[in-house]
Structure 1
Amino acid sequence: MSDSQTLFSHLVELRGRLLKALLAVLLVFICLAYFAQDLYHLLATPLLKVMPTGAQMIATDVASPFFAPFKLTMVLSFFIAIPVVLYQAWGFIAPGLYRNEKRLIAPLLVCSTLLFYGGIAFAYYVVFPLAFAFFTSVAPEGVTISTDINSYLDFVLKLFFAFGMSFQIPVAIILMCWTGMTTPAALRQKRPYVIVGVFIVGMLLTPPDIISQTLLAVPMWLLFEVGLLAGSLYYRPDQETEHQDSP
């Protein structure tokens, strides 16, 4: 088989797997579309619980009451279908991997998915109640809290993504140690910089309050420590020798 035929077959397979991933997201969306309004109410619950008596969420755009719940449903459909999306990605790249690489990548895909879900759950059940209680308590006297549903949706989706991605730290550390990009010992030496860095990241990715920043920074630091322990299991000491001997 020529190189052009091989490339064409790979592109055909990639298209097929992308279509399967999109179909999985679409099927989940169809199943959830009927419950779009209920899903948005569930998402808004952490804020509604701490809003002052008589305060309520508002829609400043005519179509917002319709589109905001469906936008949330589409994003949730992608989150729920992530295992299928990753499985299709795995099916595409697996034939080109060595056996030892397959033994590493497959568990990492599972762990990455679970950590992403864990980050979202942590944001919803821990961060949101504390952060929203703080925001509503510091409102100036005479100011009525009426949060726009689109603004609220964008805000929480940003936090979901921030926490979901920040919980991938152990996976990233394992890959860096396994590929020889760094060593567990070198990462331990950089621990003080990492601690400062996670608080800077927490400041950039969360609302401007110390509660949200700390609730993101502390788990990131703990996940860094977990990643160090796991990375030590996958790091081969001979990698350091290879790097020292290389010109």
Structure 2
Amino acid sequence: MSEEKVVPFMEHLVELRKRLIVIVVAVIVGMGVAWNYSNDLMKFVEKPLTGKTYLTDIKKDVYLKVKELAPSMYTRYKLDQEVNAPQKVRPLNYSAPLEPFFIQCKISMLAGFILALPIVFYQLWLFIAPGLTRRERRMVMPFVTAATVTFCIGALFFLIVIWPVIINFSLSYEAEGLQSWFNISAYVNFCLRLILVFGLIFELPVLTLLLSRFGIVSYAFLAPKRKYALLASSVIAAFHADLITMFVIMVPLYLMYEISIWVALIFGKKKVKIVEEAPAT
């Protein structure tokens, strides 16, 4: 009897090992491809420090609107200096030998992981596929596609929308007389960590879709737990020290939970309603 328990477990370990090897090889190949574009990726990550972002244009438009509607306020607060000020370039700094090289490796590794996501999700699916029905196995391509796309959307949403907000908030302390000095490791590691966080946050509706199709979770299960989801979002976001980062993580995380509720309602496994008859009097 003990052998009957050990053999399936060992088979699962062998299967898991096989899938992990394929994933590691795929990530290494993706890393090799991404290495050729690592400098461009670094410039994109560095852009809030060295170039214009959408926040720059929004701020300029707001100041010009103030000039049009309230010229005295525009003059009093010297907003013309903000509008006409040249874009300040803040270079990244490093303090250890080979530090930029290791940062380039980290950027390539994350980019390689993202390039390998279709293979990663496909291998994860193959690992759980033996326990699924034939009908459930047909969801492999929609699952792989949706999981890959949503992770990429989350990563891009962070880089394009959230990252400039965080950096702009950090730079606002220069008005208090502080001088910004960004270390390349701290700057890039912080960015890469949040790229992963936002990618995983955007996976929540896909995971909910999968679980709801299997009948594991449902709209009736998720909807009443909104307050717990808000609390969990706050706790997860609290691991980041500064308030602005906590906020920009908590809000998307809770919004993804709300989207997941509607995903479970629309795509979840339909259950037959049982109508209870009133007892005869």
Q: Do the two structures share a fold, i.e. TM-score over 0.5?
A: yes
Name the aligned partner's letter for residue 123 of structure 1: F
Tell whether 2:215 aligns with 1:213: no
**Which residue in the other structure is 1:245 paired with?**
none
Aligned length: 238
Which letter does structure 1 place at the counterpart of 2:268? Y
Percent of aligned positions that are identical: 29
Find the counterpart in structure 2 of residue 38 from structure 1.
Answer: 40
Deviation by residue 1:36-79 (Cα, 9 ceiling, x = unmatched) = 33322222112333797363210011221221112211121112
Structure 1 spans left out of the alignment, 5+ residues = 242-247
Q: Which residue of 2 aligns with 1:224?
A: 257
RMSD: 3.2
Determine whether 1:187 maps to 2:189: no
- 2:66 is aligned to none
Contact 2:237–2:250, Cα closer than 8 Å, also in 1: yes
Aligned partner (choices 268, 273, 277) of residue 234 of structure 1: 268
Residues 52-91 of structure 1: pairs in structure 2 closer than 5 A: 53=88, 55-91=90-126
Distance of 2:110 and 2:104 partners within structure 1: 10
Unpaired runs of at least 5, structure 2: 53-85, 276-281
Residue 124 (structure 1) aligned with residue 159 (structure 2)? yes
Once residues 153 and 197 of structure 1 are traced to their aligned partners in structure 2, the CA distance between those partners, rounded to angstroms, is 27
Q: Which amino acid aligns with 1:23?
A: V
Runs of 4+ in 1 over 4 A off after TM superposition: 2-16, 178-182, 238-241
What is the alpha-carbon distance in structure 2 between the residues aligned to residue 59 and residue 111 of structure 1? 39
Q: Is the 8 A contact 1:47 1:128 kept in 2?
A: no
Aligned residue for 1:21?
23
Q: TM-score, normalised by structure 2?
A: 0.71
Task: Report deviation, 1:133.
Answer: 0.6
SS in 2 for 1:138: helix
Q: Which amino acid aligns with 1:63?
A: L
- Which secondary structure does the structure 2 equivalent of 1:187 belong to? helix
Distance 1:240 1:176 in 2: 23
Map of 2:145 onto structure 1:
110
TM-score relative to the length of structure 1: 0.79
Code of the residue aligned with 2:166 in structure 1: it is A
Residue equivalent to 2:74 = none
